Amino acid sequence: MREFSAEYLRRTREGMWVDSREALSALGLDEREQVLDVGCGTGELSRVLDAETPDDCSVIGCDADLDLLTTASEYVPVVAGDALRLPVSDGSFDLVVCQALLINLPEPSAAVAEFSRVSSDLIAAIEPDNGAVTVESTVDAESALADRARRAYLDGVNTNVALGAATRDAFEAADVEVVATARYDHDRSVTPPYDESALRSAKRKASGEGLADDRETLLAGALTPDEYDDLRSAWREMGRTVVDQIGDRTYRRTETVPFHVTVGRVDA
């Protein structure tokens, strides 16, 4: 199972669903009674669900990673479990939902089938299309390099991290009728004054640490070791320019990650 740190989830979810919750409208959150957030991680989505559902609705987070669940448990009740064998009985929730879980599973439709076992009404998946991420930056080389690194990662990773709108196929393969789809663009901007996380991210670019962490995945695709070294060296140079621009407070960057919301209804 792919592992995530609490810090990574905090950083990448910052500001998500703050600007608009319109794309969640088909989940009918204001009339839910029992909601299960599968692969909840630190509970970033669970908190949004808890805020949008009635006071007497119970929102429960579920994850296989016990460390992440400890953080989630500060916000909602949690249960440890595998998305493919949920530790709950048939039809016990009227909404089973996940965010950025299916992209990490080799067979997303198997999880959707399990969701439909434990839901009496709706299931929903909010999945990014990491192949369509865009980056705008005051550092000229950053957008093209981010694109190059992303392509190499997508080529080497062993699950479909660009699932996005194709989540519908996983629902159909699990015999779940899709009743609505929507798109939410999560914009993450770095502007002065820079916070701790922006400073850390700039340092990681300048040291090439981020690419080094993903080296194995990057080399599992078509990228050769020489091409990896070239990419990392250009990346570090770009990172040094980011650090310089941060020093004179001129650095600005916006990354947009498209998330696709797929909602299905299970047979009564």
Ligand X SMILES: C[S@@+](CC[C@H](N)C(=O)[O-])C[C@H]1O[C@@H](n2cnc3c(N)ncnc32)[C@H](O)[C@@H]1O
Q: Which residues bind ligand X (CB under 6 A)?
A: 1, 4, 9, 13, 39-41, 44-45, 63-65, 68, 82-84, 99-101, 104
- Looking at the Cβ atoms of 64 and 243, the one nearer to ligand X is 64
Compute how many other C-beta atoms are within 10 angstroms of the C-beta atom of residue 219. Answer: 15
CB neighbours of 261 closer than 8 A, spacing ≥ 6? 23, 24, 26, 27, 124, 125, 126, 180, 181, 182, 183, 184
- Residue whose CB is less far from ligand X, 103 or 223: 103
Burial (CB count within 10 angstroms: exposed 0-12, middle 13-18, buried 19+), residue 73: middle
Minimum CB distance to ligand X, residue 171 (Å): 18
Q: Which residue is nearest to ligand X (CB)?
A: 41
Least distance CB 136 / ligand X (angstroms): 23
Looking at the Cβ atoms of 165 and 234, the one nearer to ligand X is: 165
Smallest gap from residue 103 Cβ to ligand X (A):
7
State the alpha helices, DSSP H only, in 19-119. 44-52, 66-72, 108-118
Q: What is the DSSP letter of 194?
A: P
Q: Nearer Cβ to ligand X, position 18 or 222?
A: 18
Minimum distance, C-beta of residue 226 to ligand X, in the bound complex (Å): 31
